[in-house]
A and B are shown apart, each in its own frame.
Chain A
Amino acid sequence: MNLFGSIQISGSGLDAAQTWINTSAGNVANMNDVSSLSEPAYQQETPIFEPITTPTGEGEGVAVTSVDLGSANGIVAYDPSSPLANSQGMVREADVSTGQQMVDLISAQNDYQANVAALQRAQTAYQSALTLGT
């Protein structure tokens, strides 16, 4: 157990939530991406969270260990007006679910706020500990 350990733990939670918000924002920004059939579609990004534990089994926060990429096939759609369409008028569109991304954003925001709340409680306790003997 290190000094002011709670602050580090909540900090790792803030980092993870921030990464989630960033990937989700990236997905929403790219949801209308179109590519030709010979190119891969935009791949939806999903961060993978894993707990950090010490060798003795003590929990020390959370980390984003990797980012999972969605299918590069996307959705093949008929859009003959697109300059990227092939001779049959087909293009590849990004396979990003708006609903899923909105739900993810709300979850990520709640995560962030919960970690800030825990951080503030820890700060209050540590500050009171610093008054010991004064």
Chain B
Amino acid sequence: MDGITGVLQYALDGLSQQQQTEANNLANVDTPDFTAQQVDFESSLQQALDSPDGGQAQISVTNSSAPYSTSGNNVDTGQQLTDAEQTTLQYQTMVDMLNAQFLLVQGASGGSFT
């Protein structure tokens, strides 16, 4: 899939994975020796969009560099909760934009725009 729909679908995949990672970090907030993970797909997507010949975007999962507590855990609860909220809002925005795109295609192909 290419064009706007492809980009939005990719963003949904990335956000979905981001949400799972945040849920996993929060589930392990008191697990000793647990290192929090973070998902980045935006920078790779931006690069792919900027390159003239298309390019391939990918989702990357990295370990968080936040400071560790005495139990060897580095999950920042407040940060994770804020991130989870942001991810959800972004997800909803992507869904709204996909729906808008579908309506445009529907209208352009002779159906209703609403």
Chain A interface residues toward B at CB < 8 A: 1, 5-6, 9-10, 12-13, 16, 20, 49-51, 58-62, 107-108, 110-111, 114-115, 117-119, 121-122, 124-125, 128-129, 131-134
User: What is the chain A residue whose CB lies nearest that of B102?
Assistant: A133
Cβ–Cβ < 8 Å partners of B16 in chain A: 1, 125
Q: Is B23 a contact of A13 with CB atoms below 8 Å?
A: yes
Q: Is B91 a contact of A62 with CB atoms below 8 Å?
A: no
User: Looking at chain B's contact residues, is the secondary structure mostly helix, strand, loop, or mixed?
Assistant: helix
Cβ–Cβ < 8 Å partners of A9 in chain B: 20, 23-24, 27
User: Looking at chain A's contact residues, is the secondary structure mostly helix, strand, loop, or mixed?
Assistant: helix
Interface band, chain B = 35 or more
Chain B interface residues toward A at CB < 8 A: 12, 15-17, 19-32, 34, 37, 61, 77, 80-81, 84-85, 87-88, 91-92, 95-96, 98-99, 102
Q: Is A118 a contact of B31 with CB atoms below 8 Å?
A: no
